[in-house]
A and B are shown apart, each in its own frame.
Chain A
């Protein structure tokens, strides 16, 4: 493990790590600023906001600059290939959108601007390490950097006591997951003698000793449970709806988009290494997890009357869709990576849009985002209602949107690998999903506000912040543009493998 650290090019390493290091530097600057500044300075919003935005934009363009030049190699314990930089750009864009839609929320909650932006940047840095990790230990450290910042974010950016509880639940489940992850790491390390993913892929099929084989299988199972908690696969999902619903909307957006993308990419790397050759046990386990995640979460989403909670379950359904690729992942590594990256991009764009709308709705009325209270929104705020409808239709996968093509390529890849039965399950789940995605649309367009039972309907007076408008317009444009011309995006991803 550590012999790899003896001879490698530090300069090259720092150069390719620079997109992620930029965020670390920005976070450090904010931390120092918050120590040095007096109480009145902490109320200032512009400086920390400017530092954060500058860091994120610099990071994005650094990744953009290095993207065509990366060596497709492992330096020290991080991968630097184009897929890493694509993943990193997705995470940075998601984080940037979260920062932009959080302006009003942060003003109302008690957290300081310096603290909030530091935590956001640190969690994004952790996500970068997770995406690039070529080694289970690096992955562990990245997961911790991300999770610790997110626990603090969920608890500190609070709209009420519910956020504190959501944070507690998230922390306890995160710690529980971490224990499984560590146990898996211990047993894989013990049976193979390394934590390096490519070496695991190389040596795993060669284990001949029965005892070592059993240890290895046990380790893989434990790691799978750990990942299952982190990305909310169904038997391990109980924390997810509560945490997503209880946190304030920008933090939910960060959890549901950027954090999930990062861990999903790490899971994909782990799966391609662990199931480097086709394995029948792996096939059945992943098949079952994917099917049960899609079906259970779809049925649970139908029952929700709270828009945020419904979207939380919908994100679990989308996780199930992504798992569709994994049973036969060994047959077509490149195809899996392509379909996955495309799906992740569309997933992030659609969810950012939907949550940007929710954050403006919540801004003028604290409490739950009940679907009934959307009644008549189309008359009062036609553009906002149209935007939310567009994102929901895209999440459901209707044709002229990015969600349709993402699902199409996902199903196509799975069918090519021979998982036809699983695709049928996915289509059933999609059919169910049309019901719960269309429910808010119907309420917005076809129900009068007088029918709302006792509670005030949403968004009579909310003034949209220009930053939120920018996020909404950009994500709506991306949803439609890549829905009509998906080839641009596909070429970009094809060039990334």
Chain B
């Protein structure tokens, strides 16, 4: 089988969907953060595969911006989770019921 652009894009969209479902359905903040990271990484995969198959060399530079953004998001996310855990002694969204709707 010859792997084409379409295969990579389908993979990227599937990963994105898995991440989105994870964000919506999971109750553990860590898992939600991981799901968001998965969504961001799937976007990076899409950029790279477009850059490879449509001969767009800029994409390889663009993907570094995306990776930097992913790293920064992870850093601030973990910091916020530490603050939440210190305050509430829990990382489950069910235990954080002060704000609803």
Known A-B contacts A161-B88, A182-B43, A183-B39; the reply to A167 vs B80 at CB < 8 A is yes
What residues of chain B lie closer than 8 Å to A165, measured between beta carbons?
84, 96, 98-99
Known A-B contacts A164-B84, A165-B99, A186-B50; the reply to A2 vs B23 at CB < 8 A is no
Secondary structure class of chain A's binding surface, majority of residues = helix
Q: In this assembly, does A227 line the interface, its C-beta being within 8 Å of a C-beta of chain B?
A: no
Interface size on B, residues (CB 8 A): 43
Bound Cα distance A189, B47 (Å): 7
Known A-B contacts A1-B62, A151-B80; the reply to A187 vs B46 at CB < 8 A is yes
Known A-B contacts A162-B99, A176-B36, A193-B54; the reply to A141 vs B65 at CB < 8 A is yes
Bound Cα distance A488, B11 (Å): 55
**CB-defined interface of A161-195 with B at 8 Å, one 1/0 digit per residue?**
11011111101100110110011011101100111
**How many A residues touch the partner, as a band?**
35 or more
**Quick one: closest A residue to B6, CB to CB?**
A211
Q: In this assembly, does B83 line the interface, its C-beta being within 8 Å of a C-beta of chain A?
A: yes
Bound Cα distance A144, B71 (Å): 11
**Quick one: closest A residue to B49, CB to CB?**
A190
| Beta-carbon contact of A151 and B76 below 8 Å | yes
**CB-defined interface of B43-79 with A at 8 Å, one 1/0 digit per residue?**
1101101100010101101100110010011001101
Known A-B contacts A1-B62, A183-B16; the reply to A190 vs B99 at CB < 8 A is no
A377-421 residues with Cβ-Cβ distance < 8 A to B are: none
Bound Cα distance A241, B100 (Å): 9
| Beta-carbon contact of A178 and B80 below 8 Å | no
| Beta-carbon contact of A176 and B23 below 8 Å | yes
| Beta-carbon contact of B98 and A161 below 8 Å | yes
What residues of chain A lie closer than 8 Å to B54, measured between beta carbons?
190, 193
* 17 interchain pairs, CB-CB under 8 A: A137-B65, A165-B96, A165-B99, A168-B29, A171-B77, A172-B29, A175-B40, A179-B39, A179-B43, A182-B66, A183-B42, A186-B44, A187-B50, A189-B58, A190-B50, A190-B56, A195-B62
**Quick one: closest B residue to A242, CB to CB?**
B99
**Of B36, B47, B96, which contacts A186 at CB under 8 A?**
B47
Bound Cα distance A193, B57 (Å): 10
Q: How far is the CB of A384 from chain B (nearest CB, A)?
A: 28
